[in-house]
Structure 1
Amino acid sequence: MVQKGDFIRITYTGRLDSGEVFDTTDEETAKANNIHNENKRYGGEVVILGAKHTLAGMEDELEGKEAGYSGKVTIPPENAFGRYDAALIQDIPITRFPDKPQSGQRVVIDGKYATVHVVMGRHVRVDFNHPIAGKTVTYDYTIEQKLESPEDKISGLLEMYAGNKFKIEVSGDTASVEVPLALALEKQWLVAKALVATDMLKYGGIKELVFIERFTQEALNPAKPA
């Protein structure tokens, strides 16, 4: 039975009341509904119940189910992407945008995502509501697997946050992860490893998580072919 703090892998497809598919873990479904994202990893997502990795309504639905269970749940706005709040529509000086914004464009302002509504001379009207705020959503889902071992839990989180394969070793309550040099040099890795460590130390049953990043002259300065 799935409980809060458990690591699970789920697959799902989300639809609006109109039947429009807005999110899915299935690549073919994404392509068929013109929402395919080349940067997204399809095939399933690892979530920790109680860690706010998924919608509140979905967490409530998943809790108490067994691995292998397939179901369908309809979630109201307050437990999905929030109620629509007109106060979150704001006019921002166009000088805040590095490039000329376009209507419908998704932008980041002060670390928050927003949608451009309209450009009005020197100002841009943006909406900080989630694009699906105020809407009821329905998910068809399957709990594919409950992750039990520390290795599987770490691997699942790394896949979610970093999208890479890693060598993982666990000894007692300490785990170590070999980090590919190419990834270690990326800025987003600083955030990803902090998220993985926070989740594992809180929910994963280990007391120490070590990331091994090896820097060598050969790796940083590969020999050029003669």
Structure 2
Amino acid sequence: MGDLLLVRHGATEWSAAGRHTGRTDLPLTPEGEAEARVLAPYFAGRSFAFVLTSPLRRARRTAELAGLRGAVADEDLCEWDYGGYEGLTTARIQEDRPDWSLWRDGVAPHPDGRPGESAEDVGRRADRVLARLAGPLSMSAEDGVVVAHAHLLRVLTARYLGLPASEGRLFLLTTATLGRLSREHGLPVIAGWNQRPLPRTGAPA
């Protein structure tokens, strides 16, 4: 049975500033593109059971720069819909809601009426992804790859481990890093987390 490799996209202008970036379709910054290229040697010369990506361009571009060919977009891999908190930092939100936590308190509706998502809503999307991937992983010795977003991948990891979606709060994941979900004695485990391969000698930083 293959492992599930998780890749967070490279930096964007908003991620670098700590702004909640859900469905806003921002490009990678030059620094984010450089981060994504550093991942390429890790994937070079390998084949995978599948490569899935969020349809948002920051994830698709990361997959491309990392050398992950043939990626298939999956709508369920979109980032958390932050509703009325889209584009805001945690510090700004806490000016109005002291001690606010995304994981516990959720989001305010968007001015256009869109309610946004709770942790449980994102968890249901993560559950659908994991259900679809269970068969391909069980039938292959090759790993599978998912390229997506920090909060979505943290929720997906919690659900893989059998934890409530809100326990994704435990799994910090920085830009252009890798996680590996595996199994030991038949039980789900994290075999690697928040890892960034070192660039090759002479490669752009």
| Superposition TM-score, scaled by structure 1 size | 0.25
| Superposition TM-score, scaled by structure 2 size | 0.27
More helix by share: 2
Name which one, 1 or 2, has greater alpha-carbon Rg.
1
Larger RCO: Structure 1 or Structure 2 (Cα < 8 Å, ≥ 6 residues apart)?
A: 2
More strand by share: 1
